Amino acid sequence: SFIYFALSVAFWSYCYFLWQNVSNEADAIFWCRILMAAAIFIPSTFLHFSINLIGKYLQYKKVINFFYLTSTVFFILNLFTNLIVKDVRSRLIFPYWPTAGIAFTSFLVMFIGLTFYAHYLLYRHYKSLTGLRRNQIKYVLLGTSIGFLGGSTNYPLWYDIHILPIGNILVAVY
């Protein structure tokens, strides 16, 4: 399950790089939709990984499947409609920054909710551990908190809130 999570983040990062290096609006929309295809699966793969890490897969199997299904719905909306990525516009120093479509806010609520929930499950389990397993969970909590907090700086600009996504580099630190 970790590889699903890591691949989602890596694919998002790669497409983010390609999007930032385009020279026209059509390419920018294309790469924004492709990077969002990866981003849509980051929270569900992180939840899956977190639950596997604490050894509770069978207990949470239906929850995991539900959120993979939910992510698939967002994935389809993203690729075939403008409900996630409405368009791209010049914002701050960026010539082509995405605008949130009507379904983007619902996706963002899921993203934030699952991220907090997975961290909560990890932390709750962490408190009852000692030794190597406790350290392992501690470093996963620390690394993913850094990555998610840094990556979250991308979203205000989607809503025309003029905050530069300077924390984005922290995704690489995670």
pLDDT of residue 10: 95
Asked if residue 36 has pLDDT above 90, the reply is yes
Average pLDDT over residues 63-81: 98
Tokens 């539900």: give the residue. 66
pLDDT of residue 172: 87
Total-model pTM? 0.94
The answer to whether residues 138 and 128 touch, using CB atoms and an 8 Å cutoff, is no
Asked if residue 99 has pLDDT above 90, the reply is yes
Would you place residue 173 in the very low, low, confident or very high pLDDT band (cuts 50, 70, 90)?
A: confident
C-alpha–C-alpha distance, residues 59 and 75, integer Å: 26
Asked if residue 25 has pLDDT above 90, the reply is yes
Q: List all residues 6 or more positions away from 41 whose beta carbon is below 8 Å from its beta carbon.
A: 4, 8, 68, 71, 75
pLDDT of residue 109: 98
